[in-house]
Amino acid sequence: MAAPQSNQVLLSVVIVNYRTPKLVTECLASLLPDINEIDARVVVVDNRSGDNSPEFIGAWLATNDDESKVTFIQSNQNAGFAAGNNIGIKACNAQYYLLLNSDTLIRAGAIRTILDTALRFPDAGLVSPRLEWPDGTGQESCFQFRSPLSELIEASQTYLIAKYLSRYKPSWPVQTQIARPQWTSFACVLVRKEVFEQVGLLDEGYFMYYEDMEFCHRVRKTGWGIVHNPEARVVHMPASSSTIKEQIQLKKRIPKFIYESRTRYFYQAYGWFG
């Protein structure tokens, strides 16, 4: 793993790749112009994709990273989403860290708006933007914590239960103004350095899914808030996650790590009862 840079920059953007090299380069193409006048660095971590990702991304960087803002790290293992992000976080000394999915595109001005929001709300340990589809339609990205009651609502598929326990539903409608959710999507999220120093990095016990919710749980326990600003807009085109959602909807076999992550989260958040 690359040694962390000694001089602190304002912003470090961390992108984890697993067999999505074209998405990574498209994401970088939208990101780099938006941070051109910001003291920022980008760390791309390849989670041992085992395909042509290193060559594809390396070739793109050779002709597009004119200011050498991007550091490319190849992990020697794929230990999951949290582990990949942690590698990127530790590789750069920054005041803020933006965790960014490879399946995102940055709308002009989004990064500056996110940083300005962090300055406006000093109690916010995390700041998230509006996530949307390419046509501008908003995506749900603000949530309440999942709980035993929210699981009952989803599992029952019963109108009366859903109606009377609606306040326990995890997802919020797409927000149109500043909001303070209990947790927010990590497809794009800004995290203060002080937050990592106080609560630690992402929990590598999660291979994929629920690690964002668990991290927000720890953040809120220490007194930090979470702020969502829809004025910052980021296109999100879920690639790998869409397959999982389709499997759930069609009641097909779901990967084992989904159940393991779910069990880990509920035990950590609610103990044996959870």
Taking only the tens place, the pLDDT of each residue in 77-129 is: 999 999 999 999 999 999 999 999 999 999 999 999 999 999 999 999 999 99
∠244-172-136 over CA atoms, to 5°?
A: 75
- In contact, 11 and 127? CB cutoff 8 Å: no
Contacts of 92 (CB under 8 A, 6+ apart): 4, 5, 9, 12, 41, 43, 71
Whole-angstrom Cα distance, residue 78 to residue 66?
29
Structure-token pair, residue 240: 């790998």
Whole-angstrom Cα distance, residue 245 to residue 248?
5
- pLDDT tens digits, residue range 7-65? 899 999 999 999 999 999 999 999 999 999 999 999 999 999 999 999 999 999 999 98
| pTM for the structure as a whole | 0.84
Per DSSP, which regions of 139-203 are E strands? 142-143, 183-184, 188-192
Q: What is the DSSP letter of 24?
A: H
Region for 241 from its dihedrals, namely left if φ exceeds 0, alpha if ψ lies in -120 to 50, beta otherwise: alpha
Whole-angstrom Cα distance, residue 220 to residue 108?
30
Beta bridge partners of 15: 44, 100
- pLDDT tens digits, residue range 120-129? 999 999 999 9
Length of the chain in terms of residues written:
274
